Amino acid sequence: MTRRSSAVTALLLTPAGVFFFFLLILPLAVVVVYSFGERAEAGGYAPGFNFGNYLNLPARGKAFFNTLTLAPLGTAVTALFAYPMAYFLAVKVSPKYRVAMLVLVMAPFWTSQLLRYYAWMMILGSKGIPSWLAWLGFNDIQIINTPWAVLIGAIYGFMPLMVPPIYVSLEKLDKRLLEASADLGASPWASFVQVTLPLSLPGVATGSMLVFILLMGDYILPQFLGGGKVFFIGNALVDLFLQSRNWPFGAAVAMALVAIMFVTIFFYMRFVLGKSGTRRVALV
Amino acid sequence: MRYYAAFIYIFLYAPIALIVGFSFNSGRYAMDWQGFSLQWYGKAFSNPLIVQALTTSLTIAGTTALLSAIIGTLTALGLERVSGLVRHLFDALIYIAIMVPGIVIGISTLIAFVTLFNIVNPWLLAAWNFKVEMGLWTVIAAHVLFNIAVVCLLVRARLSGMDRSLVEASEDLYATPLGTFRQIVLPLLTPSILAGFLLSFTFSFEDFIIAFFVAGPNVTLPIYVFSSIRRGVTPEINAVGAVVLFTSFALLIAAQAILQRSNRKLKGA
């Protein structure tokens, strides 16, 4: 009986195991190997073992700089705009409509990112907002292909992902704490700053981590709204793999990106989950 | 606060409305309204390149969703039966699959496939005069990897909320393990499997970055849209976009409705 049931277990887990091993672990290992190799004459990979590719990372310093400044900034601004929205949904809206209204916030995230940023190309491009501003007398204002456009795009693209975790942390907040705070003479603002805000910070942290990770690996957003002027690590990777075909160097850049991400996740787990206990947040 | 929320909804939906709106524009330039017309829908769906790309994308998304729903469910069921090392290992793999950015998945699968082809193709050519190349199957493989993780998380959430006593009752009544699975477990899991199927379909249908790396010479709809946007404005894109947006909203609402209804039933029972 036990032998048969463990055979069943093995059968159930084999397909996923095969996928994870051959399409995740093995490929990532190959990327690591490539990152120590050299570029072949015709592009692609030639075996080798040296740290040249890693030492050469500053050659793409601009991409790293843009990513590592605009991704945290974009995450922070998104959190700032998302918080009042999450608060409104969790506290002000009647429970009957809450879920539906939350789904309405999340839905755009699951539709084509390509098309949504294409729409922003039109809105921020010369025939969009700048032409309305010109009508008001502000001439020659360039928005698209600037860091501002990328920031607006970040808020737009990731608001749907930032609101739900904050909403969850606000919704399960024990309302009696606020009553107690009011009974003890705290003003609504003082109650918010001293009770609500600290208790909702884990939600803000979860949302921020999700957004930060996705923003760091983004390609479409900087490609469409940064227009080749404000480029991210993702744009450097597409160039290195599909245009200039320097795969070993590209592999080193990819590894650096993954390393930064895992450090972020590590600190998140250590400081946020460690303090507040495990919080599971539904992504869908 | 109410006004702020209204502003956010407008902010989120105005760009989508813009694409849908301009898909009915009779002029050919972006942001230049010339009057109502359905001509771009007609042109888009008589353009063989668009029809071909749409067919490719539907094939990839359908296969991906089916495989992910099956494998993801099997994995969730399997993980219920193990503990300790194996369970931790799979948990870690699932989170890695979700966390590693799409672009890195694209790159690593590209490199892995190229390496594999370099090794096996000389043998295959010598033996059967045949070689393997990038194609729809490489895109499907990379998409399934991510979606197994998504389906597995959905199904496990459902399993953890399931009432064990139903399974015990079924066993007490001498149902075979397979009978219990078919009559008790599977019906309870169906909503989350279905939701996982729809989400996998949506993800796969809309993915650009992974397919960009591993599609080889094949053109999926997002790749077609991307290259036409890069080449300059083609007004057909708005019409295609409107159809894509409508489809994904419909799928999402369906997935959400299925999950909501089943949660209510679970709580009511």
- Listed residue (A272, A268, A274, A267) closest to A202, CA to CA: A272
CB of A77 within 8 Å of a chain B CB? The answer is no
Residues facing A45 on adjacent strands: A39
CB contact set of A262 (below 8 Å; sequence gap of 6+): none
Q: Which residues of chain A lie closer than 8 angstroms to B103, CB-CB?
A: 217, 219, 234, 237-238, 254
Q: Does residue B216 come out as left (phi exceeding 0), alpha (psi in the -120 to 50 range) or beta?
A: left
Among candidates B18, B78, B115 on the partner chain, residue whose Cβ is nearest the Cβ of A119: B18
- From chain B, the residues in CB contact with A116 under 8 A are 15-16
Q: Which chain A residue shows the shortest CA-CA distance from B92?
A: A20
pTM listed for this prediction: 0.87
Which of B107, B222, B252 shows the shortest C-beta gap to A114? B222
Which of B104, B222, B249 is facing A107, going by the closest CB pair?
B249
Give the pLDDT score at B249.
86
* Chain B residues touching A131 at Cβ < 8 A: 31
With vertex at residue A40, the alpha carbon angle to CA B216 and CA B118, rounded to the nearest 5 degrees, is: 45
- Interface A:B, Cβ pairs < 8 A: 217
Distance from CA of A47 to the nearest CA of B (A): 12
> Does the beta-carbon distance from A112 to B245 stay under 8 Å?
yes
B141-164 pLDDT tens trace: 999 999 999 999 989 988 887 777
How would you label B123-146 residue by residue, b for 16+ Cβ within 10 Å and e otherwise? eeeeeeeeeeebebebbbbbbbbb
Would you tell me how many other CB atoms lie within 10 Å of the CB of residue A194? 13
Contacts of A159 in chain B (CB under 8 A): 8, 11-12
Is-contact B251 A277, C-beta < 8 A?
Answer: no
DSSP sequence for A134-147:
HHTT--S---TTSH
Residue with tokens 């036409």: B228
8 Å CB contact of B108 and A118 = no
How far is Cα B220 from Cα B31, in angstroms, rounded to an integer? 27
Burial readout A108-135 (b: 16 or more C-beta within 10 A, e: otherwise): bbbbbbbbbbbbbbbbbbeebbbeeeee
- Please answer yes or no on whether A258 and B237 come within 8 Å at the CB atom: no
- Looking at residue A4, what is its pLDDT? 67
What pLDDT was estimated at residue A3?
61
Give the closest residue to A68 by CA, choosing from A226, A217, A205: A217
The pLDDT of residue B215: 93
Query: A54 at the B interface (CB within 8 A)?
Result: no
Low-confidence ranges of chain B (pLDDT < 70): 30, 233, 266-269
Q: What is the mean pLDDT of each run of 10 residues along chain A (284 residues)?
A: 74 92 93 89 78 88 93 96 95 89 90 91 84 79 88 95 93 85 89 89 90 92 90 94 90 94 83 57 41
Rounded Cα distance, B229 and A98, in Å? 37
Say if the Cβ atoms of B31 and A5 lie within 8 Å.
no
| DSSP H helical ranges for A88-146 | 95-106, 113-124, 129-135
Tokens of B136: 């729809």
Whether residue A63 lies within 8 A of chain B, CB to CB, comes out as no
**Nearest chain A residue to B112, by CA:** A27
Domains defined along chain B, listed by start: 54-163+189-268 (1.10.3720.10)
Q: In CATH terms, is domain A60-276 a member of 1.10.630.10?
A: no
The single-letter DSSP state of residue A60 is G
Contact A84 B4 (CB under 8 A): yes
Compute CA distances B132 → A66, A151, A262, B114, B115, whole Å. 39, 43, 34, 10, 12
Give the pLDDT score at B157.
86
Residue B233 has a pLDDT of 63
Beta-carbon contacts of B5 under 8 Å, excluding residues fewer than 6 positions away, are: A85, A88, A89
3-state SS class at B217: coil
CB B18 within 8 A of CB A123: yes
**pLDDT score at A163:** 95
Q: Chain B within 8 Å of A119 (Cβ-Cβ)?
A: yes
Across the interface, which of A110, A122, A224 has its CB nearest the CB of B248? A110
Chain B interface includes A108 (CB < 8 A): yes
Query: Under 8 Å CB-to-CB from A37, ≥6 apart: which residues?
Result: A45, A46, A47, A48, A49, A53, A248, A251
Task: Give the pLDDT score at A127.
Answer: 80
pLDDT tens digits, residue range A194-253? 888 988 998 999 899 889 989 999 999 999 999 878 999 999 999 999 888 889 999 999
Preferred mutation among B104, B181, B186 to probe A, highest tally of A CBs within 10 A: B104
Query: Helix B85-99 crosses helix B136-160 at what angle (to 10 degrees)?
Result: 120
Place of tokens 């999926």: B220
Domain boundaries, chain A: 60-276
Interchain contact, B111 vs A251, CB within 8 Å:
yes
CA atoms within 13 A on the CB side of B216: 13
